[in-house]
Chains A and B, each alone.
Chain A
Amino acid sequence: MELELCLALSNSSPKFPNLKELDLISYVNCEGKRFCDDNSTLSSQSSVHGNDEEAESDGLFSNKRGNEGDTIVGWPPVKSYRKNFYHQDDDQRHRSGNFPAVENGGPRSMYVKAQMEGFMITRKIDLTLHQSYDSLTRTLLAMFGKGDDSVADYELTYQDKDGDWLLAGDLPWRTFMHSVQRLRMLKRDG
């Protein structure tokens, strides 16, 4: 018994007849009528993709979001050089002197959600644009409108793959990158 491992929308083979004898016209005629009569935005059972349209379109959507820290590849459709520009500060600009493989469809961006204590809005930050905790912290502060002088007031914490919240800084940067799921800046006590 073979395992079918893929991002399939339907587990069974498509319900339409033999591929060589497609007759979309008649399909359109009967299914189309049903479609026009049906006021709901989702076609009921006429689809070749199985029954639950809504879950499936979310499935497409959520599959993409699953792993890489809540982002969809290539969405919104903003070109790499513009993406880079939004989060840049001088540090990053001078550092990324060599071939920017990150922005070019190679190792992709890695966006994680970031929150700051006292702020309702959650932001997203591309970790691949950073190579140190320092640069990450400063950029986060800037994103929430805080200057460099606030570095001492906040500490960076992160949620790892096991769901635990830890203080950032102990792990080597690359290990941290593989482990981090979310970020949170907390006010330091005292």
Chain B
Amino acid sequence: MVLAFPDEVLEHVFSFIETHADRNAVSLVCKSWYEIDRISRKKVFIGNCYAVSPWILIRRFPELRSLEIKGKPHFADFNLVPEGWGGYFQPWIEALANAYPWLEELKLKRMVVTDECLEIIAKTFRNFKVLVLTSCEGFSTDGLAAIASGCRNLRELDLRESEVDDLSGRWLSCFPENCTSLMSLNIACLETEVSISSLESLVGRCPNLKSLRLNRAVPLERLPGLLCRAPHLVEFGTGSYSGEVRSDVFSKLVGAFSSCKELKSLSGFWDAVPAYLPAVYPICSKLTSLNLSYASLQSSDLSKLIGQCPNLQRLWVLDCIEDSGLETLATSCKDLEELRVFPSDPFGAEANVSLTERGLISVSEGCRKLNSVLYFCRQMTNAALNTIARNCPQMIRFRLCILEPHTPDYLTLQPLDNGFGAIVEHCKELRRLSLSGLLTDRVFECIGKYAKKLEMLSVAFAGDSDLGLHHVLSGCESLRKLEIRDSPFGDKALLVNAAKLETMRSLWMSSCSVSLGACKLLSQKMPRLTVEVIDERESPDSKLESALVEKLYAYRTVAGPRSDMPCFVSIMENKNAVRIT
């Protein structure tokens, strides 16, 4: 006799298993578990919209409430993916609208979302609650108006860094008077003015509003009016934080910030004027997250502010903070976990601020919980990287960008192989790494040898030969995403490690040494891989097998080759392409 739990019990147990990785694992245990997971699954994450088709998704998971999809590859953020490449949400929303009338959440990243898509969302899903559009494009404020007026239970509207065709601010006034459900609103990426009185009314009637990020067009004098209507805010993003210094405005602002007893995160601060910074001092001791990366302030002003935030866990800042400001950070913020330092003058020929490797060393020494770094600078040494590696063995994300390609260790003039080697050797939990500076194949040998948990690697202007790429593809067991530009890696490493590519989400290689012939061969060898050759200059048909491709984007898929390519994208022929229909 076989004893088994009834399906309902298993389903109930599975409902406590939340992460995608865990649910995926559950579905692989046995057929009945697969089936129960299948019919009870509420949330799905799709890392590459072309890896699977809407119909495959719908057929497998009939009860979805929440979907997260990513489109273009990461290098699209830096204009390396030509416009029109793809990542269209339209076919998805059309299929989803038919299949999931009760869909509640959509989170999209780097996808092309049109006003029509937004209109379909607004019209179709009665219980729609969460819309997050990260680095998306293709829609205008008209589409936002449709969402505002149509989604009666909207909880979150987050337009993170999307490119919006900003026709007018009137869309915000489309939220009906009886809309009281908003918990999170992020319009920071919008350029045009919205009606502040509409905003005040909206904020005032949504008692659960926890997160409000305004756009630059909201003037400083209007902040008190908004803050006072949202005393339960946890996250707040200011608009333009500047203006004539007036004591009445200042005291109203202080009062307004003080009244938000739960505020933990601040951002915005465009055009920040030092005189108004002290207005946030009353709440600094509770702050865990501070984004000052739009504030061009002197190091001394930044230091004064940061010195008041002992509980800071995350800081995003411009390099105007300089080494001295980072020393203050190291002394004051012992709980710091994430630091991002952006360049205030990325295209300037020379350094405009005194930010060097010393700043990062200070932080690594003072902030023992530091696990996530993004650091733009102009100089680095192997010794510094060694020190940082030893100070922060718990590092998870390490992204260093030395502004000038091929920059060596400025003291020894050696490549930075040794330094990055130390990072991967000591930081055994490292999941994400971005390299820069002068680097030979040796650094890749270290990465292949030590970086066993590495999931994403970004390479630019590095390496000498195919050996470099071979080390990475053969050694990095957890690798999911590899993006490479302007590095002399080519056919051999790619073809010998072809099977590896099917264990990864995607590979991007641009301005490398990959030949058209190798791309064709790769595609023939790997039926479940789509190999895209992207070339805006000429069609591959007219090229010899030995000609180098401009850009290669290869990704695993169960949906076969896509059919929405523009003329500059060629998909290498694959007669054995596996397509699940």
A residues bordering B, Cβ < 8 Å? 2, 4-10, 12-14, 16, 19-20, 22, 24-25, 27-28, 31-32, 35, 41-43, 46-49, 53, 56-57, 60-61, 64, 71-83, 85-86, 93, 96-101, 103-106, 108-109, 111, 113, 121-124, 126
B residues bordering A, Cβ < 8 Å? 75-83, 135, 137, 140, 161, 163, 165-167, 189, 191-192, 216, 270, 293-294, 342-350, 376, 401, 403, 405-406, 414-415, 434, 438, 440-441, 458, 460-461, 464-467, 470, 485-486, 488, 490-493, 495-496, 511, 513, 515, 517-518, 521, 537-538, 543-548, 550
Report whether A43 and B401 are in contact in the complex, using a CB–CB cutoff of 8 Å.
no
Among candidates B75, B467, B493, residue contacting A74 with C-beta atoms closer than 8 Å: B75
Among candidates A56, A75, A106, residue contacting B405 with C-beta atoms closer than 8 Å: A75
User: In the complex, what residue of chain A is closest to B135 when comparing beta carbons?
Assistant: A79
User: In the complex, what residue of chain B is closest to A8 when comparing beta carbons?
Assistant: B548
Among candidates B344, B470, B545, B547, residue contacting A8 with C-beta atoms closer than 8 Å: B547
The number of residue pairs between A and B whose CB atoms lie closer than 8 Å in the complex comes to 184
Known contacts A22-B495, A64-B511, A96-B191; A49/B488 CB under 8 A: yes
SS class of chain A's interface: helix, strand, loop or mixed?
loop
Give the chain B neighbours of A42 by CB distance below 8 A: 440, 464
Report whether A48 and B349 are in contact in the complex, using a CB–CB cutoff of 8 Å.
no
Known contacts A48-B490, A78-B346, A79-B161; A19/B495 CB under 8 A: yes
Report whether B491 and A78 are in contact in the complex, using a CB–CB cutoff of 8 Å.
no
Report whether B470 and A28 are in contact in the complex, using a CB–CB cutoff of 8 Å.
yes
Among candidates A61, A78, A113, residue contacting B406 with C-beta atoms closer than 8 Å: A61
Known contacts A78-B343, A99-B165, A108-B79; A19/B490 CB under 8 A: no
User: In the complex, what residue of chain B is closest to A98 when comparing beta carbons?
Assistant: B165
Give the chain A neighbours of B466 by CB distance below 8 A: 24, 48
Q: State in angstroms the CA–CA spacing of A104 and B87 once bound together.
A: 14
Q: State in angstroms the CA–CA spacing of A52 and B545 once bound together.
A: 22
Among candidates A43, A73, A96, A123, residue contacting B464 with C-beta atoms closer than 8 Å: A43
Among candidates A20, A32, A86, residue contacting B344 with C-beta atoms closer than 8 Å: A86
Among candidates A9, A19, A75, A85, residue contacting B488 with C-beta atoms closer than 8 Å: A9
Report whether A19 and B517 are in contact in the complex, using a CB–CB cutoff of 8 Å.
yes
Report whether A71 and B544 are in contact in the complex, using a CB–CB cutoff of 8 Å.
no
Give the chain A neighbours of B163 by CB distance below 8 A: 80-81, 99-100, 103-104
Q: State in angstroms the CA–CA spacing of A76 and B537 once bound together.
A: 23
User: In the complex, what residue of chain A is closest to B547 when comparing beta carbons?
Assistant: A6
Enumerate 16 A-B pairs (CB-CB under 8 Å) in ascending A order.
A8-B548, A13-B546, A14-B491, A14-B546, A22-B495, A28-B467, A41-B438, A49-B490, A57-B461, A60-B461, A61-B461, A79-B78, A97-B167, A98-B166, A100-B163, A121-B348
Report whether B348 and A124 are in contact in the complex, using a CB–CB cutoff of 8 Å.
yes
Give the chain A neighbours of B434 by CB distance below 8 A: 77
User: In the complex, what residue of chain A is closest to B401 when comparing beta carbons?
Assistant: A76
Report whether A19 and B521 are in contact in the complex, using a CB–CB cutoff of 8 Å.
yes
Give the chain A neighbours of B345 by CB distance below 8 A: 86
A82 CB → nearest B CB, Å: 6
B445 CB → nearest A CB, Å: 9
Q: State in angstroms the CA–CA spacing of A14 and B488 once bound together.
A: 13
Known contacts A97-B191, A121-B349, A123-B348; A60/B486 CB under 8 A: yes
Among candidates B78, B346, B467, B538, residue contacting A32 with C-beta atoms closer than 8 Å: B467
Q: State in angstroms the CA–CA spacing of A22 and B414 once bound together.
A: 33
Report whether A73 and B79 are in contact in the complex, using a CB–CB cutoff of 8 Å.
yes
Known contacts A24-B492, A56-B488, A74-B78; A123/B518 CB under 8 A: no
Q: State in angstroms the CA–CA spacing of A64 and B485 once bound together.
A: 12
B533 CB → nearest A CB, Å: 12
Q: State in angstroms the CA–CA spacing of A11 and B565 once bound together.
A: 30
Known contacts A85-B294, A105-B83, A121-B348; A14/B486 CB under 8 A: no
Report whether B415 and A72 are in contact in the complex, using a CB–CB cutoff of 8 Å.
no
Give the chain B neighbours of A43 by CB distance below 8 A: 441, 464-465, 467
A21 CB → nearest B CB, Å: 11
Q: State in angstroms the CA–CA spacing of A80 and B81 once bound together.
A: 13
Report whether B491 and A19 are in contact in the complex, using a CB–CB cutoff of 8 Å.
yes
Give the chain A neighbours of B544 by CB distance below 8 A: 2, 4
Give the chain B neighbours of A103 by CB distance below 8 A: 163
Report whether B165 and A48 are in contact in the complex, using a CB–CB cutoff of 8 Å.
no
- 17 additional contacts (CB under 8 A) given A41-B464, A43-B465, A49-B513: A4-B547, A7-B550, A8-B548, A19-B518, A35-B465, A43-B467, A48-B490, A60-B461, A61-B461, A73-B80, A77-B434, A77-B460, A78-B346, A79-B77, A85-B294, A108-B79, A123-B347
Q: State in angstroms the CA–CA spacing of A94 and B488 once bound together.
A: 43
B292 CB → nearest A CB, Å: 13
Give the chain A neighbours of B488 by CB distance below 8 A: 9, 47, 49, 53, 56-57, 60
B353 CB → nearest A CB, Å: 13
Among candidates B83, B167, B342, B495, residue contacting A78 with C-beta atoms closer than 8 Å: B342
Q: State in angstroms the CA–CA spacing of A86 and B343 once bound together.
A: 9
Choose among B83, B465, B538 the residue with the greatest number of A CB atoms under 10 Å from its CB.
Answer: B465
Q: State in angstroms the CA–CA spacing of A28 and B78 once bound together.
A: 34
Give the 10 A-B residue pairs with the shortest CB-CB distance, closest first: A74-B78, A24-B496, A124-B347, A13-B546, A99-B165, A105-B79, A106-B83, A74-B80, A122-B349, A105-B83
